[in-house]
Structure 1
Amino acid sequence: MVIGQTHPPNILPDATVTHITPDEYRAKEEIAEERHEYCNGEIIAMLGGSLLHSRIAVDITTFLNVTLRDTTFETYNGDLRIWIPRFNCGTYGDVFVIEGEPEFNGDRQDEILNPRLIVEVLSPSTEAYDRGEKFRKYRSLTSFCEYLLVSQNEPYVEQYYNSDRENENRWQWQVCDRLEDAIILQSLNNIELPMREIYRRIEF
């Protein structure tokens, strides 16, 4: 499968002038009022989400957290950064799940290396990036094997799954677009994520 590539949106003006180190980025991020992605020396501003974006992300997080609480899986929200070593990149997923103990980036307690499932709620300004370049970066993580792209505007979820993690480009794709249906999360022992749980507070 070939995924189109789109560069990260909203590169800050000063980021194109001076490249900074990962440690300089982390120091800035600790005191920043807004979140930023780090991409091989550049800082990329991340736009704030909408009310719908927040509702959907919170409801997915809540459902997964409750459903997985007695398993070896653990759910995290977008406050914890995902570090992608191959691309020297730090970014944030809306929701992600790990299996077992978290693998941290060195002595950093705020950067995770081993997401298994990642969920992105799509926004007009970031949709192309989430589908393209960001997905490409995520695929370089050996633990990562399932990706959900969730629409805000209609009951529509795209699901990507890779059963062969030794081949990062062999992904299966399917769509769920009816509120009566559920998504089978293959990376989480086939638990069901009902569409009505994703969109429980959304009126179309």
Structure 2
Amino acid sequence: MTVTIQANEKRHYSPEEYLAREEAAEYKSEYRDGEIIPMTGGTTNHNQIAGNIYIALSIGLKGQNYRVFIGDVRLWIAKRRFYTYPDVMVISGQPKYFNDRKDTITNPQVIVEVLSKSTKAYDRSGKFDAYKTISSFQEYILIDQSQIQIEQYFKTANKRWSYREYDEEDPTLAFNSFELEVPISDIYEKVNFEEIEQEEEGGE
């Protein structure tokens, strides 16, 4: 008897195939140069923090030439052939839509990600590296959902980034891209750190 063993090869999808699947899918996925990566659901802490920072930015930048988007707006990173869904994005001026799709933009100035243990390494490394290839991208905010800790990266020159860290001793998060300070207490309002044991199951 002859037994044939077939290698389990990963299928590579075109961007068009990904978008078609995404429109029909029940859950969101990322696209990374041919590979489709399902995104797990976020925890209540994740959702609360993303909502808090979105509200703070929307109110703080009201009347100024900025747009703030949360969650469902997709980002296309041309140089890496990535589609992804940042938690919050701030755009200076008008959105630049990819292929005239009103659900996909290409020009964020500020990106905010809420960290979980399952994604924080990728958010700090591979995803940040991809974001750096976007010419409009100037500032990256990483918010821990398991403790009061925020990481801020802002561009100072070509291939030069500065870093600052915030914790419970800091009263506000000071953005570098525009004149806005957000109280740390507002970012973590209604976040319950006692629910962290469930955090491993979610996050984006």
The normalised TM-score by structure 1 is 0.88
Q: CA deviation at 1:32?
A: 0.7
Q: CA deviation at 1:107?
A: 2.0
| Structure-2 residue corresponding to 1:173 | 163
The answer to whether residue 13 in structure 2 is matched with residue 20 in structure 1 is: yes
Which residue of 177, 182, 188 corresponds with 1:193?
182
Structure 2 contact 97–104 (Cα < 8 Å) conserved = yes
Q: What is the CA–CA distance in structure 1 between the aligned matches of 2:170 and 2:190, rounded to whole Å?
A: 15
Structure 1 contact 179–196 (Cα < 8 Å) conserved = no
| Structure-2 residue corresponding to 1:110 | 103
The residue type paired with residue 33 of structure 2 is N
Q: CA deviation at 1:190?
A: 2.2
Q: CA deviation at 1:99?
A: 0.4
- Highest RCO, 1 vs 2 (Cα 8 Å, sep ≥ 6): 2
Which residue of 38, 48, 55 corresponds with 1:45?
38
The residue type paired with residue 201 of structure 1 is K
The residue type paired with residue 194 of structure 1 is P
Q: What is the CA–CA distance in structure 1 between the aligned matches of 2:118 and 2:127, rounded to whole Å?
A: 13
Structure 2 contact 91–110 (Cα < 8 Å) conserved = yes
Structure 2's unaligned 5+ residue stretches are 1-7, 194-204
Cα deviation code 1:138-183 (max 9, x no counterpart)? 000010010011011111100000032xx1x310001010265111
The answer to whether residue 183 in structure 2 is matched with residue 183 in structure 1 is: no
Q: CA deviation at 1:93?
A: 0.5
Indicate the percent of aligned positions where both proteins have the same amino acid: 41
| Structure-2 residue corresponding to 1:125 | 118
How many residue pairs match? The answer is: 186
Cα deviation code 1:105-145 (max 9, x no counterpart)? 12222111100000000011111100000000000001001
| Structure-2 residue corresponding to 1:134 | 127
Structure 2 contact 45–192 (Cα < 8 Å) conserved = no
| Structure-2 residue corresponding to 1:62 | 55
Q: What is the CA–CA distance in structure 1 between the aligned matches of 2:192 and 2:39, rounded to whole Å?
A: 26
Larger radius of gyration: 2
The answer to whether residue 76 in structure 2 is matched with residue 86 in structure 1 is: no
Q: What is the CA–CA distance in structure 1 between the aligned matches of 2:92 and 2:48, rounded to whole Å?
A: 25
Superposed CA RMSD in Å reads 1.4
Q: Which moved more, 1:170-179 or 1:123-132?
A: 170-179
The residue type paired with residue 44 of structure 1 is I
The residue type paired with residue 18 of structure 2 is Y
Q: CA deviation at 1:26?
A: 0.3
Structure 1 contact 79–92 (Cα < 8 Å) conserved = yes
Structure 1's unaligned 5+ residue stretches are 1-14
